[in-house]
């Protein structure tokens, strides 16, 4: 028997679920919204295991626009919203991203993308190798053709601060949060009419939202739908390099690794594993060999100050990896129109959460995209098998 019915039931209460609940209850006070989260420690959620960085340097205009709103939201949050919910600062560190190009084709691409990004309000600059070295003398630029740098609106911030702030604000606006595991749907005439919860039983819903991160395909399966999203393991290393102390360094994206400063003079670095493929959602075994075998040599080549390096700690997180095009999958499915997807963010979902939560909320309330046209990212392209690729996937 169906218990209490909600206008919207959100499955997954990390950053995407919380952002959706925040925007829904902000836009329509009185709407009944239930957010179901199985593990409120978030110990295994991508949100908690993120490198938590934000950039304007994407290759698609929609992703630039999404992150441009993300930065606006973070600043606003630090300005007033966060104070109201006890999260006064997200510790935004505006050091910029530095993308490196190694060929004339790469340099041309950075120049074209920078122009597109500036058209969206970003401040991306493209530098020659000499200019790059003048800004960051500790870099070896001899094999570079160009670099692009965002002098404002790019950097990193407190992921858990954003999450707890969004949850607290959504709660204050009337959203309900429950610790429980969703295990299935009640389907009636091609619509989701209830969400089965392990402890609370069947909960009725007007709409259901799939914000289940790496488990998104499981949730889609309850409605008989396929979703090309799978967990992919990423091992992140925190390193100490006594001869490389550059706290003002940007987030550096080289061809085989990325690197950014961390508190206390340390650094964070990671790479894409050599054999990148799906893993079990509960496989958190680190690929420790990646630092020694893949990252270190390239890092030392790029910055000789990394001659002596100690791995201080590491952690493993999972991308909810969209195998078609590594981009977000958004909106309702035509076959189950009251099931809303917000999945497949791969490596860039944290920064997208303010704009995506707002977009999903607007779609739920009005039946279409409003403030930002997110149709490039709609699930229709997945059904049609037509990739909408992002070239700057980190």
Ligand X SMILES: Cc1cc2nc3c(=O)[nH]c(=O)nc-3n(C[C@H](O)[C@H](O)[C@H](O)COP(=O)(O)OP(=O)(O)OC[C@H]3O[C@@H](n4cnc5c(N)ncnc54)[C@H](O)[C@@H]3O)c2cc1C
CB of 179 to ligand X, least distance (A): 9
Window 326-365: contact mask with ligand X (x via CB under 6 A): -------------------x-xxxxx--------------
Q: Does the footprint of ligand X cover residue 307 (CB under 6 A)?
A: no
Q: Which of 35, 205, 227, 236 binds ligand X (CB under 6 A)?
A: 236
Q: Which of 8, 9, 16, 65 binds ligand X (CB under 6 A)?
A: 16
Nearest to 346 by CA among 383, 394, 279: 394
Q: Does the footprint of ligand X cover residue 271 (CB under 6 A)?
A: no
Q: Which stretch, 83-91, 128-136, 315-323, 332-340, contacts ligand X (CB under 6 A)?
A: 315-323
Q: Does the footprint of ligand X cover residue 181 (CB under 6 A)?
A: yes
CB of 260 to ligand X, least distance (A): 9
Nearer to ligand X, 213 or 261 (CB): 213
Read off the tokens for 33: 């919204």
Q: Does the footprint of ligand X cover residue 161 (CB under 6 A)?
A: no
Read off the tokens for 129: 């190798």
Read off the tokens for 72: 């606006």
Q: Does the footprint of ligand X cover residue 226 (CB under 6 A)?
A: no
Q: Does the footprint of ligand X cover residue 95 (CB under 6 A)?
A: no
CB of 288 to ligand X, least distance (A): 15
Q: Which of 20, 46, 56, 322 binds ligand X (CB under 6 A)?
A: 46
Q: Does the footprint of ligand X cover residue 211 (CB under 6 A)?
A: yes
Q: Does the footprint of ligand X cover residue 261 (CB under 6 A)?
A: no
**Contact residues for ligand X (CB under 6 A)?**
11-12, 14-17, 36-39, 42, 45-47, 49-53, 181-182, 211-215, 234, 236, 317-320, 345, 347-351
């Amino acid at each position: 028997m169906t218990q209490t019915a909600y206008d919207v039931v959100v499955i997954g209460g990390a950053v995407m679920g919380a952002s959706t609940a925040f925007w829904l209850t902000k836009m329509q006070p009185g709407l009944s919204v239930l957010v179901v989260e199985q593990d409120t420690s978030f110990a295994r959620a991508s949100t908690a295991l993120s490198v938590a960085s934000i950039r304007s340097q994407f290759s698609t205009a929609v992703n630039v626009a999404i992150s441009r709103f993300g930065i606006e939201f973070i600043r606003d949050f630090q300005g007033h919203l966060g104070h109201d919910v006890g999260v006064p600062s997200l510790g935004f560190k505006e050091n910029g991203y530095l993308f490196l190009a190694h060929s004339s084709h790469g340099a041309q691409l950075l120049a074209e993308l920078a122009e597109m990004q500036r058209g969206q309000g970003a401040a991306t600059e493209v530098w020659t190798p000499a200019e790059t070295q003048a800004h960051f003398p500790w870099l070896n630029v001899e094999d570079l053709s160009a670099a692009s740098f965002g002098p404002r609106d790019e950097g990193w911030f407190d992921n858990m601060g954003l999450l707890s702030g969004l949850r607290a604000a959504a709660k204050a606006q009337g959203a309900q949060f429950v610790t429980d595991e969703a295990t299935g749907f009640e389907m009636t005439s091609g619509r989701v009419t209830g969400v089965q919860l392990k402890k609370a039983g069947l909960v009725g819903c007007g709409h259901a939202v799939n914000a289940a991160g790496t488990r998104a395909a499981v949730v889609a399966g309850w409605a008989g739908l396929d979703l090309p999203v799978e967990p992919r393991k990423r091992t992140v290393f925190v390193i100490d390099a006594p001869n490389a102390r550059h706290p003002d360094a940007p987030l550096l994206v080289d061809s085989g690794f990325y690197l950014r400063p961390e508190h206390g003079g340390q650094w964070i670095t990671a790479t894409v594993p050599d054999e990148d493929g799906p893993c079990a959602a509960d496989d958190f075994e680190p690929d420790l060999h990646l630092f020694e075998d893949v990252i270190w040599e390239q890092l030392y080549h790029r910055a000789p100050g990394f001659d002596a390096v100690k791995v201080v700690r590491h952690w493993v997180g999972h991308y909810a990896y969209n195998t078609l095009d590594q981009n977000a999958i958004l909106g309702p499915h035509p076959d189950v129109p009251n099931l809303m997807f917000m999945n497949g963010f791969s490596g860039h979902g944290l920064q997208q959460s303010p704009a995506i939560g707002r977009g999903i909320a607007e779609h739920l309330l009005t039946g279409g995209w409003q403030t930002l046209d997110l149709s490039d990212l709609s699930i229709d392209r997945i059904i049609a098998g037509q990739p909408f690729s992002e070239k700057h996937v980190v």
